[in-house]
């Protein structure tokens, strides 16, 4: 009996320890099952593992040439990703290779576009939703090779995508060349060149990704349904928990009742034993009395009445014993029923103990998961602190760069004022020519293209030149060109266009100490068109260095090509050819740099080309010169659209 009571108490304590944790364990079990069931669909179908991706990126670097490779001390590779995913894998492979382009390798990770610092190679994946145009703007002018994955056609430099378990890529060589990068012919042969082919592959991949998104949404819906089912099961468990508590209380109450019954039975058993002893003693007395009766019949007769009374009392006592035996039998039957009930509850408690074991096991699994989660939280906190430090450092650097940029831009704007002061204005042209226009569109604040005019006697000298480069370097070259032309024409009175180019080339070579073979000195120069309009003889002389002259007479177009050599040191160092043309009234003369015809734009993002320009000039030949300029400017802007201006633009139109 005491063992049963202790078992009840032990089971109750054991259940109280585990039952409160059953609902969380059940929820964790179902949730883990859901995560494991859907985990295999988390990655996009057309991506592949980071091991292959890292090797592919490092291999691409072998097929690209950097213009500034001799100035690079350490070949830095940047990975643009919000969390460490590809970065540790590519770092390990770069360490194994040791060198790229015969330079030691360093791999860095950038969390945001603002974090990007100068690197030789930068990788970005569209799945992180980075704006590729902002990335290009942030790396412009840094000789950075931009490798992207899953972006649209020609949005970066080298863009690849995985389709049908094959890597396909396309190359934007124009953008690479702007950054001083060249790709090998062997690598170019395997690239996709048609935008339609790329768009078809990109559309198929986008379609598959959209189907995977739908699948993920369906899986999320199933998880929500399972969570609702967990809540319902938890409520049922709470109800069962209350029911078991009440059953345990009932068992404890019946145990107390059973103890009282056992004590009562023991007390009655002791009373029966005492009465049996009394009966035994009385029987002994009866035997003694019978013996005495044999000895003394007379005494027996005298005591007969006493004996009869004693026998009557014995009969009464026997009836009482029989009644007590009936009551005792009923109590034993009740005790047997209670014993069976106790065994039933013991079996139920054993089942509850087994259930508690599995609950405890789930609790242990949950505890281990919580420990791992706390460790990850500590790592994330440390990373957040490091990012905040880097953000503060970058902010300080940004302020310093902004101040430096302001000083630089102030200097460049002042340089523009100086350059504009050196160029002739419209009043100078009107003094010597009646009908003309000048289209002058620098790519940057200052320009590498320039125009120039002068009058010597009856001869008017008009020049349109394109210096090497644009921006500040081109502007410096253009200022030297203006200075040299002033000396050659205005001071030395040389007016023959071919001689002007010969003298100008000699001055450029001497000024920059240029030598054959490109071993030393600056190899830059200029492409130029020079016209000499003789107003007395009504003729025009032309000489060009790579730049042409276009003559439109009525509906006929005649192009005079310049010599295929620049005003600088080159492999071909012959005297420039001089062309003399008889002019007629209403003849149209155009000279220009290559900035207009090399502009990218239109529906297919191609160059404007000289053929399209000549056709346009022929279409607008009847328009006044000022109207022609307006049409040319509007056509140029419409063609360019949202594209960046490719080069400086200068064009001079004259009507005789």
Note the pLDDT tens digit of each residue in 293-329. 677 777 657 766 776 777 777 777 777 877 777 777 7
Compute the average pLDDT of residues 553-580. 93
- pLDDT recorded at residue 16: 47
Mean pLDDT of the chain: 82
- pLDDT recorded at residue 522: 62
Question: Counting Cβ atoms within 10 Å, is residue 86 exposed (0-12), middle (13-18) or buried (19+)?
Answer: buried
Predicted TM-score (pTM) of the model is: 0.42
Question: Which of 69-73, 370-374, 601-605 has the weakest average pLDDT?
Answer: 370-374
- pLDDT recorded at residue 229: 83
Top mean-pLDDT range of 154-163, 228-237, 588-597? 588-597
Reported for 18-24, long-range contacts at CB under 8 A and 24+ positions apart, including other chains, are 18/356, 18/359, 18/360, 18/363, 19/237, 19/241, 19/244, 19/356, 19/359, 21/359, 21/360, 21/362, 21/363, 22/237, 22/359, 22/362, 23/230, 23/233, 23/234, 23/237, 23/238, 24/363, 24/366
Q: What share of the chain is helix, strand, coil (3-state, %, to 5)?
A: 60, 20, 25
DSSP 490: I
List domains and CATH numbers for the chain. Answer: 50-210 (3.40.50.2300), 423-655 (3.60.40.10)
Tokens of 36: 């494991």
Compute the average pLDDT of residues 465-481. 84
3 state SS for 447-478: CCEEEEEEEECCEEEEEEEEECCCHHHHHHHH
Top mean-pLDDT range of 120-124, 353-357, 582-586? 120-124
The dihedral through the CA atoms of 107, 108, 112, 116 has a sign that is: negative
pLDDT in tens, 510-534: 988 887 655 545 668 899 999 999 9
Q: In this predicted model, which residue has the larger pLDDT, 540 or 38?
A: 540
pLDDT category of residue 389 using cuts at 50, 70 and 90: confident
The Cα–Cα gap between 473 and 525 comes to: 11
Tokens of 524: 């830059």
Q: Is the pLDDT score of 107 beyond 50?
A: yes
């Amino acid at each position: 009996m005491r063992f049963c009571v202790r078992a009840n108490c032990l089971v109750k304590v054991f259940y109280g320890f585990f039952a409160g944790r059953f609902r969380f364990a059940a929820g964790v079990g179902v949730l883990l099952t859901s995560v494991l069931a859907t985990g295999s669909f988390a990655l996009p179908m057309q991506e592949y593992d980071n091991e292959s991706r890292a090797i592919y990126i490092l291999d691409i670097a072998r097929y690209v040439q950097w213009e500034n490779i001799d100035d690079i001390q350490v070949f830095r590779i940047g990975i643009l990703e919000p969390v460490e995913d590809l970065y540790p894998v590519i770092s390990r492979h770069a360490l194994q290779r040791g060198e790229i382009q015969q330079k030691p390798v360093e791999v860095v990770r950038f969390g945001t576009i603002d974090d990007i610092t100068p690197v030789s190679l930068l990788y970005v994946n569209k799945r992180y939703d980075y704006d590729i145009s902002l990335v290009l703007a942030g790396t412009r002018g840094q000789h950075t090779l931009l490798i992207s994955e899953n972006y649209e056609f020609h949005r970066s430099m080298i863009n690849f995508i995985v389709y049908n378990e094959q890597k396909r890529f396309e190359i934007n060589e124009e953008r690479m060349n702007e950054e001083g990068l060249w790709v090998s012919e062997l690598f170019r042969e395997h690239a996709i060149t048609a935008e339609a082919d790329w768009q078809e592959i990109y559309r198929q991949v986008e379609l598959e990704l959209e189907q995977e998104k739908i699948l993920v949404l369906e899986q999320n819906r199933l998880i929500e349904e399972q969570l609702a089912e967990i809540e319902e099961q938890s409520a049922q468990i709470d109800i069962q928990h209350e029911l078991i508590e009440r059953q345990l209380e009932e068992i404890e109450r019946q145990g107390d009742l059973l103890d009282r019954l056992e004590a009562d039975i023991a007390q009655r058993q002791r009373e029966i034993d005492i009465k049996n002893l009394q009966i035994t003693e009385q029987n002994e007395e009866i035997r003694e009395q019978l013996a005495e009766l044999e000895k003394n019949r007379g005494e027996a007769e005298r005591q007969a009445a006493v004996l009869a009374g004693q026998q009557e009392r014995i009969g009464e006592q026997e009836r009482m014993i029989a009644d007590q035996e009936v009551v005792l039998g009923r109590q034993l039957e009740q005790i047997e029923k209670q014993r069976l009930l106790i065994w039933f509850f013991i079996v139920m408690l054993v089942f509850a103990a087994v259930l508690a074991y599995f609950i405890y096991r789930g609790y242990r699994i949950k505890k281990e998961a919580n420990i791992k989660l706390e460790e990850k939280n500590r790592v994330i906190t440390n990373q957040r602190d490091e990012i905040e430090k880097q953000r503060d450092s970058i902010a300080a650097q940004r302020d310093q760069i902004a101040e430096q940029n302001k000083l630089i831009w102030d200097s460049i704007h002042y340089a523009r004022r100086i350059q504009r002061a050196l160029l002739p204005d419209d009043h100078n042209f009107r003094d010597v020519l009646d009908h003309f226009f000048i289209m002058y569109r620098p790519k940057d604040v200052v320009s590498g293209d320039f125009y120039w005019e002068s009058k010597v006697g009856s001869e008017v000298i008009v020049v349109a030149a394109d210096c090497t480069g644009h921006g500040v370097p081109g502007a410096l070259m253009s200022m030297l060109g203006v200075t040299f032309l002033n000396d050659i024409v205005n001071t030395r009175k040389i007016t023959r266009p071919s001689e002007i180019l010969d003298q100008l080339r000699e001055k450029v070579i001497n000024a920059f100490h240029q030598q054959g073979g490109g071993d030393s000195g600056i190899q830059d120069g200029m492409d130029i068109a020079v016209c000499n309009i003789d107003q007395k003889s009504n003729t025009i002389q032309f000489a060009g260095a790579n730049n042409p002259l276009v003559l439109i007479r009525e509906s006929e177009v005649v192009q005079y090509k310049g010599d295929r050599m620049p005003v600088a040191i080159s492999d071909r160092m012959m005297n420039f050819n001089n062309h003399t043309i008889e002019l007629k009234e209403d003849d149209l003369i155009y000279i220009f740099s290559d900035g207009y015809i090399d502009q990218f734009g239109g529906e297919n993002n191609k160059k404007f080309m000289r053929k399209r320009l000549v056709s346009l000039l022929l279409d607008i030949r009847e328009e006044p010169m000022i109207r022609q300029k307006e049409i040319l400017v509007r056509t140029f802007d419409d063609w360019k659209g949202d594209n960046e201006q490719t080069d400086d633009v200068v064009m001079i139109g004259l009507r005789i």
